Amino acid sequence: MKKKKKVKEGKTKSLVHFLKKQPHQYVDQKFQQAHEEVFEEISCLDCANCCKTLGPRIKSSDIKRISKFIGVSVKKFQYDFLKVDEDNDWVLKQLPCPFLEENNDCSIYEVRPSACRAYPHTDTWQQKKQLSLHLKNLPFCPAVEKIFEKINKQINS
């Protein structure tokens, strides 16, 4: 099992190494296609691992929007749900995210933090700049793993 995982990691690292040498447009096109295919196949509602284990960085605009939505002051929202991390960013005080419901729905979906909307960052432009981040997200997000698998297949077929 461990050996299989190591082989997979090695393959992904080689792929990232290859992609780093390709033009931006090529890399973006590969990610766009793989992202669309993967999110047609998997449902975040069956997973919610990012909400359970990572938690977003929360910007001031998120704090204002969410506190208004749940009907509390900015100060109370910060006190009840947030802490400042080592990079001086607001993050959730506890995980799993307190807004994650039992069925994996997000109770503040309409106003969720922008980082939650953007995760796992596989459908933006300039994907070459995100490759190292994707490697970090690999153990947490099955979608990222599948996207790399698809790109690998495309390139080697």
Residue numbers at the binding site for ligand SF4 (CB under 6 A): 42, 44, 47-51, 55-56, 97, 99-100, 106, 108, 112-113, 116, 119-120, 140-143
Edge to edge, the sheet with strand 57-58 lists 57-58, 90-92, 82-84
Cβ at position 20, least distance to ligand SF4 in Å: 23
What amino acid is encoded at 26 in this protein?
Y
Nearest approach in angstroms of CB 84 to ligand SF4 is: 18
CB 58 → ligand SF4: shortest distance, Å? Answer: 9
Q: Report, in Å, the least distance between residue 80 CB and ligand SF4.
A: 14
Report in angstroms how near the CB of residue 63 gets to ligand SF4 at its nearest. Answer: 12
Residue among 117, 110, 106, 109 at smallest CA distance from 57: 117
Task: Report d(CA 99, CA 53) in Å as an integer.
Answer: 13
Cβ closest to ligand SF4, residue 48 vs residue 151? 48
| Residue nearer to ligand SF4 on the CB measure, 26 or 140 | 140
Which of these, 142, 70, 68, 61, lies nearest to 106 by C-alpha position?
70
The CA radius of gyration of the chain, in Å to the nearest whole number, is 18
CA dihedral 41, 44, 45, 51 (to 10 degrees): 170
CA angle 3/6/11 to nearest 5° reads 130
Residue 113 vs 148, nearer CB to ligand SF4: 113
Decide whether 19 or 48 has the Cβ nearer to ligand SF4.
48
Which of 22/104 has CB closer to ligand SF4?
Answer: 104
**Token reading at 116:** 């939650």
